[in-house]
Amino acid sequence: MTQSATDVQVSSAEARPPVIELQGVCKAFPTGRNGTPQLAVDNVSLTIPDAAEGEFVVLLGPSGCGKSTILQMVSGMLAPDKGEIRALGKTVHGPDAQSATVPQAYTCFPWLTALGNVEFGLSVLGKPAGERRKIAQEYLKKVGLGDREDAYPRELSGGMQQRVAIARTLAMRLSIVLMDEPFGALDAQTRAEMQMMLTSLWTEEKNLIVFVTHDISEAVLLADRILVFSARPAKIIQDVRVPFPRPRAQTLVYDSQFVQLSQALLNLLKSEGHDAR
Amino acid sequence: MHQAFTVRGKIEPRLDAMLGLGAIALVLIVWVCITLGPPDHRMIPPVFLPAPRDILDGVQDLVKAGQLPGSIWISVWRIVQGLFFTILVGVPLGILMGSYPFLDSALRKFLDGGKSVPPTAFVGLIILWFGIEERSKVVFLFLGAIFYMTLMTKNAIQNVRDDYVNVAVDLGASNWQIIQGVLLPGALPQIWDAIIVCNGLMWTYIVLAEWVNAQSGLGYMISIASRLSRSDEVYAGIILIALISALTDWMLRAVRKRFFNW
């Protein structure tokens, strides 16, 4: 069989390993007084191919279903009991500078200013001081805090602190950015603002973001692709493409297609025996 | 009813200061009253409780005799040295113990044991090892505080929020980057608190440190006055120690507020 030039091109693109790959991953935790293991992740396999344009992937599922556990295994903070996890083609052995997580809790270091916090990740990467400062200032501007670089976290609202945390992670320009319900602790209005900030910011960054949430409309608003999880133990029950073009506006939530998709997801989650928003 | 009388209510600094000073004033008034009259005709014999006026006279005598203010500086200097070495040894050791669990396990029991031994029990050994010069006073103070400094520093490091440490680990920081970039700054306010505690400890020990074998200092001054039954001078010494210790405490706290208030 002869190969034309286009065939060769396609196969070399496919030769790039997937950004994230899980194969048959299982994880149990010893919980309860007698320490009987509780299965948190049940034989999960998923592939996120390496897209030149980056991708915004959302893991959607009810609270406590194990999606955060999956995220922690991807970042290397937890090891799977069974199965394999590969990031950028290499098996994940532990936490490293390939991926970074924005957690739900406020984790800005109180002893550093906003600028100092954003510079922290860059200093871990070993960037020299001048370059650190420049990049940090750039990203603080991108999250809308350009005028607050000398503020300490205690002087900032919860939403602003999460912006700093996001800037800290994104400034490192990693291939894989993980977000574990980063807006969960915020009020509804701030959450809506943060969603808009993130989605427009991502349109510039175009890296891979894996975002965990239990909020259906948040998932549909932000994602290119939604992996829907069952209740604990986590199993993927659906893989959904979100067709809306970018940039996306907050008003998208009133669009009939948006509502339909949200409704379908809600029914899907309900039928798994669990309530979700 | 004012919040100050409610459980866990808040109190403004102004009112807080006023109440504190008011209580002191009240005590002074009572003190003056119960020690009224010439020395022979008082409710309480002056050797047990001198009148405030007597204590002030005692201070004057001590100044005339050249004992004050020199004794103050000598005692302060001894404590400064004691703190210096305690911090020099205790803080790095505490940081290492707090960061590396195997060190904590190996050394903790020694420190728990050591902290319960009063340095007074060591006095004989200290004189044997270090003689009767300045060094032995500083060693005495050092022994009184080092176990607490180390253990409190270790706790400060271990109390740094897991969330902060996890951020650094997740970003791929090395052990050194975690210790120096997260643990140390995160623990700094509590480490400073440990220094404040050790300063207080040393002020309680200074009299002992100087009682046995000193030729100078506030403790020496008090020990001589005590042997001569000069209660006024004894009280003067005690009050001076209390005042200076409170002053140094206040200064250290002010530094904490200004530089480490997270």
Both B138 and B181 in one domain: the answer is: yes
pLDDT in tens, B122-171: 888 888 888 878 899 999 999 999 999 999 999 999 999 999 999 999 99
Question: How far from each other are the two terminal CA atoms of chain A, in whole angstroms?
Answer: 53
- Say how far apart CA A199 and CA A202 lie, in whole Å: 5
B164/A107 Cβ within 8 A: yes
- Say how far apart CA A150 and CA A139 lie, in whole Å: 14
- Run of H or E including A228: strand A225-229
- For B186, which residue in chain A has the nearest alpha carbon? A111
Both B214 and B85 in one domain: the answer is: yes
A152/B170 Cβ within 8 A: no
B169/A77 Cβ within 8 A: yes
A105/B186 Cβ within 8 A: no
- Half-sphere exposure (CA, 13 Å, Cβ side) for B181? 25
Q: CA distances (Å), B177 to each of A84, B171, B183, in order?
A: 29, 11, 9
Q: What is residue A32's predicted lDDT score, i.e. its pLDDT?
A: 66
Res. A275: pLDDT tops 70: no
Q: Which two tokens stand for residue A150?
A: 């000398």
Both B129 and B34 in one domain: the answer is: no
Q: How many domains does chain B have?
A: 2
Pick from A77, A105, A112: which is nearest to B163 by CB?
A105
Assigned domain for B231 exists: yes
Assigned domain for B179 exists: yes
Domain of residue B116, residue span: 70-259
pTM: 0.86
Both B41 and B122 in one domain: the answer is: no
B171/A172 Cβ within 8 A: yes
Range list for CATH 3.40.50.300 in chain A: 19-98+177-215+222-277
Both B37 and B119 in one domain: the answer is: no
| CATH class given for the domain over A19-98+177-215+222-277 | alpha beta
Both B164 and B89 in one domain: the answer is: yes
Choosing from B60, B78, B108, the residue where a domain stops is B60
Assigned domain for B65 exists: no
Contacts of B172 in chain A (CB under 8 A): 95-98, 100, 124
With beta carbons less than 8 A apart as the criterion, state whether A158 and A185 touch.
Answer: yes
The three-point CA angle A235-A259-A66 to 5° equals 20
Q: Report the CATH number that the domain containing residue B247 is assigned in CATH.
A: 1.10.3720.10
Both B120 and B9 in one domain: the answer is: no
Both B51 and B153 in one domain: the answer is: no
Contacts of B173 in chain A (CB under 8 A): 124
With beta carbons less than 8 A apart as the criterion, state whether A191 and A253 touch.
Answer: no
Both B127 and B42 in one domain: the answer is: no
- Say how far apart CA A59 and CA A70 lie, in whole Å: 9
pLDDT in tens, A32-78: 677 788 888 988 999 888 887 789 999 999 988 889 999 999 999 99
Q: What is residue A1's predicted lDDT score, i.e. its pLDDT?
A: 47
Q: Indicate left, alpha or beta for B117 from its phi (over 0: left) and psi (-120 to 50: alpha).
A: beta
ipTM above 0.90, yes or no: no
Both B9 and B101 in one domain: the answer is: no
Both B115 and B232 in one domain: the answer is: yes
Both B39 and B83 in one domain: the answer is: no
Choosing from B60, B92, B109, the residue where a domain stops is B60
